[in-house]
A and B are shown apart, each in its own frame.
Chain A
Amino acid sequence: MAELQTVDRAFLENAVQQAALLLRTAASAFYLYDADRNRLQLAASRGLDGATCDEALLLRVCRSRQPIIRNRRGEWSILAVPATWRDRVQGVLVVADGAERTFGRREAEMLQPLADLVAAALHQAERLMRMTAQFRALHDIDVALTSSLQLDRVLNLILEKACDLVGAEHGSLRLLDPAGGDLVLKAYLGEGWTPEVRAYTFPIGHGITGWVAQHRRPYLCRDAHADPQNVVLFEEMQSGVAVPLLTGPEGELLGVLLLESTRPAAFDERDVELLEALAQEAVIAIQNATQHQALQDEHERRVAAEKWTVMGQAATALAHRINNLIGIVPASAAEIRRSLARLDIPDAERAWIEANLDRIERNGRFVLKLADGLFRPFQETGPRVRFNVNRLLNEALQAANLPAEVEVVREFGQDLPPLESSSLLVDIFLELITNARKAMEGREHKRLTLRTRAENDENGLWLVVEIGDNGMGIPPEQMAHLWDMFKQSATGLGFGLWWVRTFIERQGGTIRCESRPGEGTTFTVRLPAA
């Protein structure tokens, strides 16, 4: 029902006056009808002087949707007609006159168009009000969506607000993966989103979501279990509505928003309209967030690159300095030793001098090795070279010279994109393979697994290399210090994994280690494809 406070009073009073003028009656009135509560409310009147109509009579008009005429001796004569718009009774228009007046069918027919005109106007007012309310809701959503530039947060907000807007209990937001062509789940709401359900991706054209993606049109599903388009992921959902997220003048598909309800036929065309409006806001918010993310990623990459450049310059300068200063220590010691050999001095004295020379030389060499290890990942390694990662791994494998007892399992991806990196990369793989061999010492059956594949995400194409062993694994307490610079090790200086990681990060990649004590360790290297 149109609320009394939202109705234009002046309009109703005018209509009431028109009714009285039309039929030349002493009094007239308009009552608003509340169908849900079956009640009437006086909205405008003229000439009634405080008298009220028989409410039972007016309610009968509303229910029957037929005019009622009452001409009774000694009472006011009354004509009441329903104000109807598209089968919906909005109210009753009443005219009354002295007892000498008798209303007939002709008067009823004259009054009816005016009543219906009022109903139409009320309906329009109501519609306008609802639209204003929806506009406000959308505006609120717009404000909420632009409050965040974090993509995950924006996607969840869109879904949340969409559910609120149309009163859905369940929802999902899927974005199109431009590379794979699938609709990938990005946000979800409601119960029952098990990992299996979440992992389900809709190919274009499959399910309601797929249909919407294919036709780039909304889809209204009134009965989820009878709908042939539907792929039932949630048994208890009875109906659903889905709209596409479209961008640009061509209406390019960005994703699909699907909302579901446990009630049958919970959504109608109005919800579709609303969701389409929401989708427009959503697309803008998603694009903003995506752009922001890209800028941020780019910024981070630039900062990282700059950091490496600065560190590289400092490291090279320092390495040069140290090599110059300390390199002379063993060289000079060797000269003394040479001269010493020609001198004739007591044996005890000679031994003492040689022991001191040993100490000088040993420590000098240690400092040089330390500097070498420290600066290795920063070394200017010459121009970047394009590699086939599988071939590179085979090269590293050859260099590792593994004993025959180690079974090598190669699970290489085919047709992988090339990799662009410093030529030191082969040393990285060699180091990881050597580590794996050491970890498997003492195992009856030694198995080294090498896997390669390509991977796609919002930052582009990646090459993934896994180097796994079935060795003893790394105990959790060691795991925490795995990448430390001076990690204790029986052999070497303890630079191993530190320099591996530093080098890989410098190439714009990442390295991850997963280990199960007693079962083995796998290192996963991700590097950007060329």
Chain B
Amino acid sequence: MRGKILIVEDFADWRDLLQGLLQREGHEVEAVATLQEARAYLQETTDLDLAILDIRLVETEEDNEDGMRLLAEIDAQQPFTRVIMITGHGTMEVQRRAFRSFHAFDFFRKEEFDSEEFRRAVQEAVEDAARERQAWKDQNYIRSRRYELWQQGKSPYNP
């Protein structure tokens, strides 16, 4: 399944590598470097399946966690978008927070980056997002159909 993916990564080489890798899988990929660009993109995109976020988006700022902030924003505002976190130096603590507080889908470390594993995770995330979006649409359809049926007096609750 092809998905719509956003990559947010300040490191150009990683950004290009990940974008190239995912485009070759057939996904529609947008890649940006900063928190601001990412927010601007998210503002006008409603059907994003997956965001791939680097935790530190300003290399020189030691306690920069813009990626985490983005994760939290997406978690709160975009229910059908999955998020995969990547980091250059991730501690267990950060990893746990990403999963427990903000429902990250997966977590990758650059020092032991396995691209096959990454491809699989992306695939799963995209499918998961699509499945949930479809389920929501189906449910909405059923709800609206139920109303129509009720209007027509054909509801099982209204014999």
Which A residues form the contact surface with B (CB < 8 A)?
Answer: 313, 316-317, 319-321, 323-324, 326-328, 330-332, 334-335, 338, 368, 371-372, 379-382
Contacts and interface: CB of A to CB of B under 8 A. Distances in A.
Contact of A334 (B11, B13, B115): B115
Nearest to B21: A335
Interface in B112-129: 112-116
A369 to B, nearest CB: 8
Most buried by B among A316, A320, A324: A324
A159 B20 CA distance: 81
A119 B11 CA distance: 102
Contacts of B110: 323-324, 327-328, 331
B89 A323 contact: yes
Instruction: State the majority secondary structure of interface residues on B.
Output: helix
Given A368-B112, A371-B111, A372-B111, A324 B88 contact: yes
B17 interface: yes
Interface string B80-111: 00000000110111000000000000000111
Contacts of B92: 382
A327 B59 CA distance: 15
Contacts of A320: 56, 59, 88-89
20 contacts: A316-B89, A320-B56, A321-B88, A323-B110, A326-B111, A327-B110, A327-B113, A328-B13, A328-B110, A328-B113, A331-B17, A331-B113, A332-B17, A335-B20, A335-B21, A335-B115, A379-B91, A380-B93, A381-B91, A381-B93
Interface in B1-36: 11, 13-14, 17, 20-21
A382 B90 CA distance: 12
Contacts of A313: 62
B121 to A, nearest CB: 14
A163 B62 CA distance: 62
A324 B14 contact: yes
Given A331-B115, A371-B111, A323 B62 contact: no
A332 B56 CA distance: 21
A327 B88 contact: yes
Nearest to B114: A334
Nearest to B18: A331
A325 to B, nearest CB: 8
Contacts of A382: 91-93
Chain B: number of interface residues, binned into ranges: 20 to 34
Instruction: State the majority secondary structure of interface residues on A.
Output: helix
Contacts of A335: 17, 20-21, 115
Given A327-B111, A335-B21, A381-B93, 8 more contacts: A319-B89, A321-B59, A323-B110, A324-B11, A324-B59, A328-B14, A332-B17, A334-B116
Q: What 9 A-B pairs come out closest when comparing CB atoms?
A: A327-B110, A320-B89, A382-B93, A323-B88, A323-B111, A324-B88, A320-B88, A368-B111, A331-B113
B9 to A, nearest CB: 10
Contacts of B89: 316, 319-320, 323
A499 to B, nearest CB: 16
Nearest to B56: A320
A328 B17 contact: yes
A102 to B, nearest CB: 113
Contacts of A316: 62, 89
A380 B87 CA distance: 15
A319 B111 CA distance: 10
A384 to B, nearest CB: 12
Nearest to B93: A382
A320 B91 CA distance: 11
Contacts of A317: 62
Nearest to A424: B92
A362 to B, nearest CB: 14
A382 B11 CA distance: 26
A174 B110 CA distance: 61
A140 B76 CA distance: 78
Contacts of A371: 111
Contacts of A321: 59, 88
Contacts of A368: 111-112
A316 B17 CA distance: 24
A424 to B, nearest CB: 10
A331 B15 CA distance: 12
Nearest to A333: B115
A254 B17 CA distance: 71
Nearest to A375: B89
Most buried by A among B56, B88, B91: B88
A368 to B, nearest CB: 5
B111 to A, nearest CB: 4
Nearest to A313: B62
Contacts of A332: 17
A321 B61 CA distance: 12
A371 B110 CA distance: 13
B149 to A, nearest CB: 53
A335 to B, nearest CB: 6
A36 B111 CA distance: 94
A323 B21 CA distance: 19
Contacts of A338: 115
Contacts of B62: 313, 316-317
Nearest to B119: A338
A425 to B, nearest CB: 14
A379 B56 CA distance: 16
A323 B89 CA distance: 7
Interface in B56-80: 56, 59, 62
Contacts of B11: 324, 328
A313 B60 CA distance: 12
A326 B14 CA distance: 11
